[in-house]
Amino acid sequence: MKVPVTFGQYVPVDSPVHSLDAKAKMGLVAAFTAALFLVDGPLGMVAAAAVVAAAVVLSRVPWRIALRGIRAVVMILMITLAAHALRWNPATVALVRVGPLAVDAAGLKEGLFFVVRIVLLVVGTSLLTLTTSPVALTDGLERIMRPLARVRFPASEVAMMLTIALRFIPTTAQEAEKLIVAQTARGARFDAGGPIARARAYAPVLVPLFVNLFRRADDLATAMEARCYRGGVGRTRLHESRMRPRDWAVLCLGTLVLALVGITL
Amino acid sequence: MIVFEAVSFTYPGAARPAIADLTLTIASASLLAVVGANGSGKSTLARLADGLLVPDSGRVMVDGIDTADEQRCWDVRSRVGLVLQNPDNQIVGTVVEEDVAFGPENLGVPREELRSRVSDALAVVGLTGLERREPHLLSEGQKQRLAIAGALAMRPEYLVLDEPTAMLDQRGRTDVLGVLDGLKLAGRGVVHITQDTGEAARADLVLALDAGSVAYLGHPAGLLGDASLMAELGLEAPPIQVIADELRRSGFTVPEVSTAEELVEALWR
Amino acid sequence: MALVAKDLGYTYSTGAPYESRALTGVDLRLEKGELCLVVGSTGSGKSTLLRLMSGLLEPGVGSVRVDDAESVVRGSVGIVFQNPETQFFAETVSADVAFGPKNLGFSDVDTAVSDAMLAVGLEPVEFGERSPFTLSGGEARRAAIAGVLAMRPAYLLLDEPTAGLDRRGREVVVRALLEARLKAGVLLVTHDPGVFLAHADRVLVLAAGQPVFYGNVTDLLEDDGAPFDVAGLVLPDVVRAQVLARSRGARIARFAFDATDAARTLAGALGGPS
C-alpha cells in the first residue's frame, strides 16, 4: 500500500521564492522578524503586511495553505486580544460593557496591533518552510552553522542528524501505521477508557516500534560505516547551495527595505 | 583479491564462534555465492570482508591491505562495497541521488565527479530518471537496487551483498540478478549471499557455511549434486536438479541442466 | 458458512490528485477447511485485498460478508501481516500470544494460548516463558501466527507467511498452516506460491488490481498457467517443467507439485528409459 506521506509543509511548485537560496531566505526571515518588532505604528504594520502579501503571491503558495499556520496560534491570538482589550470594572468610558466586564478602545487598538504582529510573524516565517525543501533547509542550516565549527560545534554532524531524521520520519510513520493496524486486528482498542488506559493501549505499538527503530539504527550505523562515513571532515557534497549574485541582491535589497520599514515606521 | 587466512571470529558474549578457521580467496571478475542456513555465519563473513569486523585470529587481506590495520580501514571499505539485507535500513539520503552520493561524498570526491558517479551508478542498476524520488516512495525492488547503486558509486573493486533478493518478487529478483552478472562482467569481484540454491548455481564458486565452518567450497555442481550434504546444511536443492537426478536414477540419460526449459529440451527433442 | 467477497473494489485517497485504484471487481469465496491462494506481484493489490477481507478497510465498492452477516464480525477473521515477528511487544511468548484472546474477553485465555502454540508446533512449556525477541526466524514467525490463531478465528488471512525464512523455517510454517486449515479457512497472499500450490483449493491471480484468474489449480494449469504470465509471475519450476513437457506432446494427466513426484510423472510420460 502506498500512502503518499506529505511531509512537513513544503509545497513543491516553481516560483521565484522557491528558487531563492535557503540561506538568503533565512536571512530575510531574520530581517523580517527584526523589522516586525521594531515597527511601532499601524502604518508600519500595513507595510509589513504588504511585504508578506507580496511574498505569498510571488511564491504561488495557495493562500489557504499560507494562512494555515494561523490555526495553531488562534488561542494565543484570542488571549492576547483579551488581555489587552478587556477591563474589569474600568473607571474610564468603555466601548462595550457587559456587567463588570468592559472592552476598552485603546486596549482594543493595542491588542489588534499585537494580533496582527503575531499573524504576520507566523505567515512570514512559515513561508520559509513552505517554499524550501527539507533537504535544502538542512543544507542551508549547515552552511550557516559552519563558522561555529571553529568553536567545536559539530555543524556537519548536526546537519547529518537532521537529514537522517528527515529520511526516517516517513518510514517510521508507515511502520507505526502498520503496527496500529496489526494490533487493531488483534482486538486492541486505542479509543477506550481514560487517558491512562489509552496511553497503556499504545504499549503494543510503541514497544515494537522502538525495538525496530533500534534495530534499524544498528543497521544504519553499519551501513554508514561501510560507506566510509567518518564525520564531516573531508566530506564533499553533491548539492551545496551557493549564493548566486541574484540571491545576494535579493537578500541585501530585502534587508534594506525591511530595515527602513522597521526604523522609520 | 580478498584473502581470508584461517579467520576466526566470535561475537562478544557468544558461546561459539560465528566464523571458525575460514580460508578463502575472493577474486576479481568472479561471482562467489555463499549459502547456509540462518545463523551459519553468512552475514558475519560479509562484515569481515569489509573490515567492519576484525578477526580474533587469522587475517583478512584486501588487495594486500590487512583489515586490522586501522590506519587503512577506509582504504579497505572503499574497495569493498557492502549491501545489507534490508535496504530500508541503509538508505541515508532523503532523495535517491543524495543517497547514491553519500559514499563518494564521504571519500571526498570532488563535486563534478560526484555527478558522474551518481548518474553512472543509477544507470547500472536501471534507476535513471528517479534521481529526485524520495526513498520511501520506491518499490522494494527499486530500494534494493538503490542500495546497490549506493555501494557502486564508491567504485569498489568488490561488492558483497547480503541476501539481496530475499524480499523481492520475480521481476525484482531478475533485475537484481542481472545487475550482479553485469558487475562480474565489468571485472568486479561479487560475493552473493543467498538462501536460494538456484541463484547459487549461477556462481563461479560456491561456499557453504555450517555453524561458521566451511562445509563446501568449490564448483556449484559439486554441492548441488550432493543431496545428503544439502539436507545436512538445511539447503533446498533446486527442484530441476532434483528432477534430473531422479530421472537419472531411473535410467534416463539427462545432461547437466539448470532450468525447466533445458530439462524439457533435453528430454523431448 | 464462508467468508465471501463480492465485486470488491478499493481506491486509495479517493478524490485526491494522487488517488490510486488498488483493486477492482474481485469475487472470492473462502470456506472453512479450505486453502485459498492469492498470487500477484508487488503492487497487484494483494495486501489491499487482505485488509478488506479482514474488515480493517471498508470496501469502496462491493461487500465482504462473514457467514451471511452483513459485515466482518469482530474476531471471526484473523490476519497475519508480513514479517509479523516485528510486532512482538510482551516479555514472554505466552503473554504476547494471549494479547488477542484477552482483548476479545475470552474466559479460557490459557487454553486458547496453549492450543494455538501447539498448533504451530511450539511446546508451551518450552517456549511459553521465553522472550519473543530471542526466538529464531522460524520460531518467531510461528509464535506470531499463534498470536492470531489464539483468537480462534474462523478464517485466517496471511501475507507472505514464509518470506525470508530458510528451508527449515519454511517447512515448519507450512506444516503449521496446513494444521490450521483443519479448523479454519486459510487465505494466503504470496508472490511465490511454491509448495502451497499442492494444497490449494482455489487460486486467485491478481494483476494490477484486477483478477485475471479465479479457480482451482487444475484449471489454472489448463492454459499452461497463462494467468501467471499476465500477472508477471513465474510458475514454480517443478510445475513449469511439466507444463513445458505437455506443450511438447507429453501426456500428463495430473500435475505433481513435489520434485520427486514430478520426476515420476515425467518418467511415466516418457515411457521408460530409451
Kindly give the residue spans of alpha helices, DSSP state H, lying in chain A.
16-19, 22-38, 42-59, 63-66, 74-85, 105-131, 134-145, 155-185, 195-201, 203-226, 245-264
pLDDT at A215 over 80: yes
Chain C residues close to B169, C-beta within 8 Å: 41-42, 191-192, 232-233
CA distance A34 to chain B (A): 33
C234 confidence band (pLDDT: 50, 70, 90): confident
CA distance C199 to chain B (A): 18
CA distance C198 to chain A (A): 29
Q: What local confidence, expressed as pLDDT, does residue C20 receive?
A: 73
Is B110 close to A239, i.e. CB distance below 8 A?
no
C74 confidence band (pLDDT: 50, 70, 90): low
Specify whether the CB–CB gap between C52 and C62 falls below 8 A.
no
Write the residue in C164, C232, C263 that is nearest to B170 by C-beta. C232
3-class state of residue A93 by DSSP: coil
B29 confidence band (pLDDT: 50, 70, 90): very high
Residue C272 gets which letter from DSSP?
Answer: S
User: Which residue has 547529518 as its cell numbers?
Assistant: A160
For residue C42, report the phi and psi dihedrals to the nearest 5 degrees.
-55, 135
**Averaged over C35-53, what is the pLDDT?**
89
Q: What local confidence, expressed as pLDDT, does residue A7 receive?
A: 43
pLDDT tens, residue by residue, B92-123 = 888 899 899 999 999 999 999 999 999 999 99
pLDDT tens, residue by residue, A66-83 = 888 888 888 888 888 888
pLDDT tens, residue by residue, C115-157 = 999 988 899 999 999 999 988 888 999 999 999 999 999 999 9
Q: What local confidence, expressed as pLDDT, does residue C72 receive?
A: 64
pLDDT tens, residue by residue, A9-38 = 677 778 888 888 888 999 999 999 999 888
Is B263 close to C238, i.e. CB distance below 8 A?
no
B268 confidence band (pLDDT: 50, 70, 90): confident
Which helix (H) or strand (E) segment is B261 a member of?
helix B260-267
Query: What whole-number distance in Å separates Cα of residue A141 and Cα of residue A122?
Result: 20
Residue type, B144: Q
Chain C residues close to B141, C-beta within 8 Å: 42
Which helix (H) or strand (E) segment is A13 a member of?
none
A238 contacts chain B (CB < 8 A): yes
Chain A residues close to C104, C-beta within 8 Å: 187
pLDDT tens, residue by residue, B219-229 = 998 998 888 89
Residue type, A168: F
B195 confidence band (pLDDT: 50, 70, 90): confident
Chain B residues close to C232, C-beta within 8 Å: 169-171
Query: What whole-number distance in Å separates Cα of residue B4 and Cα of residue B61?
Result: 7
Q: What local confidence, expressed as pLDDT, does residue A2 receive?
A: 36
Q: What local confidence, expressed as pLDDT, does residue C130 receive?
A: 94
Mean pLDDT score of chain A, rounded to an integer? Answer: 84
**Averaged over C219-235, what is the pLDDT?**
88
pLDDT at A241 over 80: no
Among chain A residues, the shortest Cα distance to B48 is held by A226
Which helix (H) or strand (E) segment is A40 a member of?
none
Chain C residues close to B43, C-beta within 8 Å: none
**Averaged over C36-57, what is the pLDDT?**
88
CA distances from A13 to A16, A68, A126, A133, B110 (A): 10, 17, 16, 11, 30
pLDDT at C274 over 60: no
Among chain A residues, the shortest Cα distance to B74 is held by A228
Query: What whole-number distance in Å separates Cα of residue C103 and Cα of residue C152?
Result: 13
Write the residue in B39, B245, B260 that is nearest to C241 by C-beta. B260
Q: Which chains touch C (3 or more CB pairs under 8 A)?
A: A, B
Is B243 close to C192, i.e. CB distance below 8 A?
no
For every residue of C52-69, DSSP letters joined together read HHTTSS--SEEEEEETT-
Chain B residues close to C42, C-beta within 8 Å: 139-141, 168-169, 171-172
Q: What local confidence, expressed as pLDDT, does residue C16 receive?
A: 61
pLDDT tens, residue by residue, B77-97 = 999 999 998 888 899 888 899
Could you tell me which of C154, C236, C232, C230 has the C-alpha nearest to residue C200? C236
pLDDT tens, residue by residue, A216-234 = 999 999 999 999 888 877 7
Query: What whole-number distance in Å separates Cα of residue C245 and Cα of residue C239?
Result: 10
Is C244 close to B264, i.e. CB distance below 8 A?
yes
Q: What local confidence, expressed as pLDDT, does residue B193 receive?
A: 95
Under the phi-then-psi rule, with left for phi > 0, alpha for psi from -120 to 50, and beta for the rest, what region is B5?
A: beta
pLDDT at A1 over 50: no
Chain B contact probe: residue of C38, C165, C244 with most B CBs at under 10 A: C244
Percent of residues, chain A, with pLDDT higher than 90: 16
pLDDT tens, residue by residue, B46-74 = 999 999 999 999 999 999 999 999 888 88
Which residues are CB-contacts of C199 (< 8 A; sequence separation ≥ 6)? C35, C178, C181
Is C169 close to B263, i.e. CB distance below 8 A?
no
In degrees, rounded to 5, the angle at the alpha carbon of residue A136 between the alpha carbons of residues A134 and A140 is 115
Q: Which chains touch B (3 or more CB pairs under 8 A)?
A: A, C
Kindly give the residue spans of alpha helices, DSSP state H, lying in A132-244.
134-145, 155-185, 195-201, 203-226
Write the residue in A222, A234, A240 that is nearest to B108 by C-beta. A234
pLDDT at C203 over 50: yes
**Averaged over B238-265, what is the pLDDT?**
89
Write the residue in C48, C89, C102 that is nearest to A203 by C-beta. C89
Q: Which chains touch A (3 or more CB pairs under 8 A)?
A: B, C
State pTM to two decimals.
0.80
Q: What local confidence, expressed as pLDDT, does residue C71 receive?
A: 65
Is A212 close to C86, i.e. CB distance below 8 A?
yes
Which residues are CB-contacts of B218 (< 8 A; sequence separation ≥ 6)? B205, B206
Write the residue in B90, B137, B151 that is nearest to A220 by C-beta. B90
**Averaged over A193-207, what is the pLDDT?**
85
Write the residue in C166, C238, C244 that is nearest to B38 by C-beta. C166
β-strands B213-218, B205-210: how paired? antiparallel
pLDDT at A148 over 90: no
Q: What local confidence, expressed as pLDDT, does residue C211 receive?
A: 94
B260 contacts chain C (CB < 8 A): yes
In degrees, rounded to 5, the angle at the alpha carbon of residue C127 between the alpha carbons of residues C125 and C131 is 135
Mean pLDDT score of chain C, rounded to an integer? Answer: 88
**Chain pair A-B, CB pairs under 8 angstroms:** 96
CA distance A212 to chain B (A): 10
A187 contacts chain C (CB < 8 A): yes
User: Which residue has 517443467 as its cell numbers?
Assistant: C241
**Averaged over C53-71, what is the pLDDT?**
84
Percent of residues, chain C, with pLDDT higher than 70: 95
List chain A domain ranges: 1-154+242-265, 164-230
Residue A146 gets which letter from DSSP?
Answer: G
pLDDT at B45 over 90: yes
Q: What local confidence, expressed as pLDDT, does residue C17 receive?
A: 59
Query: What whole-number distance in Å separates Cα of residue B139 and Cα of residue B16?
Result: 38
Write the residue in B141, B237, B267 that is nearest to C42 by C-beta. B141
Segment among A108-117, A148-157, B143-152, C172-181 with least mean pLDDT: A148-157
User: A196 burial class (0-12, 13-18, 19+ CB within 10 angstroms)?
Assistant: exposed
Q: How many helices (H) and strands (E) does chain C have?
A: 10, 9
Which residues are CB-contacts of C140 (< 8 A; sequence separation ≥ 6)? C85, C88, C132
Is C12 close to A183, i.e. CB distance below 8 A?
no
Query: What whole-number distance in Å separates Cα of residue A51 and Cα of residue C186?
Result: 64
CA distance A4 to chain C (A): 8
pLDDT at C239 over 60: yes
Chain B residues close to C233, C-beta within 8 Å: 169-170
pLDDT at B202 over 80: yes
Among chain A residues, the shortest Cα distance to C43 is held by A1
Longest dimension (CA), chain B: 65
Residue C129 has which C-alpha cell? 516463558
B254 contacts chain C (CB < 8 A): no
For residue C5, list its beta bridge partners. C28, C64
Is A135 close to B98, i.e. CB distance below 8 A?
yes
Which helix (H) or strand (E) segment is B147 a member of?
helix B140-152
Q: What local confidence, expressed as pLDDT, does residue B68 receive?
A: 92
CA distances from B241 to B220, B221, C124 (A): 12, 10, 39
Specify whether the CB–CB gap between B139 and C42 falls below 8 A.
yes
